Structure 1
Amino acid sequence: MSTPPGTTGRPRDAGRDLAILDATLRLLTEVGYDQLSMEGVAARAGVAKTTVYRRYRDKAALVAAAVDRRAGGTPPETDAGDLRTQLLVQVRWLARQIAEQEIGLLGALFAGMRGDPALAAEMRRIRRRDEAAMTDQPLRRAAEHGERLAPAAAELFAEVAPAVIVHRIVFTDLSCDEPFVEHLVDDILLPLLRGR
């Protein structure tokens, strides 16, 4: 990593950045958001407190950066024009993304968002960005192929699909296998998105 133009000093050490973000996720899962501290992250990452504070203005920004780095994937693109095929691809991808998250991490994030408006705002910013990436291409392509979509179809997909998947994984402790993916698409999402 190089120093941005117009700044002085040594380039930032990418290894330290990764150590800080990894330490944040581990501690978040172990102790929860309330007990997480910048000092604790610094100690776990093996860096000085000032190293963490120089990179992140507060705990919410630190946690959001760690979660954002962990998520790291982009939805796959497909050339299929029909809405069902588009949705199957997106839901399979989304289910994998959610299933790969540790349940302890999800719980810590949910609890932290309830108690810290700054964290909630950061996580909503990430969600809005990811929501646009996840819904723009499949719904736009389906509309281009003559599919009539309900008003706010993108928002409906982004609200319903992750909620049903999280419920399946966290509360029922079942996998998002192909029959479930098809049920979610055929019985829930398609009627909703078509406004029927």
Structure 2
Amino acid sequence: MTGTPSTTSSTMGRPRDSSRDVAILQATLALLTEVGYEQLSMEAVAGRSGTAKTTVYRRYRDKAALVAAAVDHRAPSTPPEPASEDLRENLLALVGWLADQIAEKEIGLLGAVFAGMRSDPRLAQEMRRILNRDGAAMTERPLRVAAERGEPLVPDAAELFVEVASAVILRRVVVANEPCDQSFIEHVVDDVLLPVLRSTKGTPA
């Protein structure tokens, strides 16, 4: 077998070409938007990316793993760090960032991924792993800061934030086709998230 030894190698022992990785993932995203998850094939991705079919299969065990990796590659943005000790201010920044992340994704791509998750348990499993990881990373700092300051938060506040904020933003972007402007972000935080995340236990009726 030919090739120069490398610390990053495929299972076949050849040096891994990172440019091929990017080409494969970009081709996957393009085809996913064009034809949807059901019609997407590993062979089509190989053709679009200019790589051999065996190269694609060597990197990804199935279509679900490939699509999940492509979506994960799509927007590796970092959530904002808490700028203050005030929960509202930190939530405003976080919701604004999340709205930008969702709004920047093509509607066709979102629809294809959601449809694929409903029809393919493997894709659903892969995407939930990614979403749970990102959700935990997104909420850990601001909610921990709030808890350390004695903010009364409900159990599973992190999971609630991800579920509620994502759903409201998705409806705004996809269904209403309206911008996630500052007034909308303040509405989400003040009228939806803060009442949901703050515990009322021990509060006088």
Match of 1:72 among 66, 72, 76: 76
Instruction: Indicate if the aligned counterparts of 1:64 and 1:119 stay in contact, CA closer than 8 A.
Output: yes
Give 1:48's aligned residue: 52
Instruction: Indicate if the aligned counterparts of 1:25 and 1:66 stay in contact, CA closer than 8 A.
Output: yes
In the superposition, relative to structure 1, how do residues 181 and 153 fare at CA in structure 2: closer, same or farther (>3 Å)?
same
69-78 or 53-62, larger mean C-alpha shift: 69-78
Matched, 1:173 2:168: no
User: Which residue identity does 1:172 align to in structure 2?
Assistant: A
For 2:8 and 2:122, the matched residues in 1 are separated by 27
Q: CA RMSD in A?
A: 1.5
What pairs with 1:1-196 in structure 2 (closer than 5 Å)?
2-4=6-8, 9-196=13-200
What runs of 5+ residues in structure 1 fail to find an aligned partner?
A: none
For 2:44 and 2:193, the matched residues in 1 are separated by 43
Instruction: Indicate if the aligned counterparts of 1:3 and 1:10 stay in contact, CA closer than 8 A.
Output: no
Answer with 1 or 2: which has the greater Rg.
2
* TM-score using structure 1 length: 0.96
What runs of 5+ residues in structure 2 fail to find an aligned partner?
A: 1-5, 201-205
User: Which residue identity does 2:191 align to in structure 1?
Assistant: D
Q: Cα deviation per residue 1:80-128 (whole Å; 9 max; x = unaligned)?
A: 1111011011101000000000000000001000000000000000011
Instruction: Indicate if the aligned counterparts of 1:81 and 1:142 stay in contact, CA closer than 8 A.
Output: yes
Secondary structure of residue in 1 paired with 2:64: helix
| Equivalent residue pairs, number | 195
For 2:18 and 2:156, the matched residues in 1 are separated by 40
CA shift for structure 1 position 6: 11
Instruction: Indicate if the aligned counterparts of 2:139 and 2:158 stay in contact, CA closer than 8 A.
Output: yes
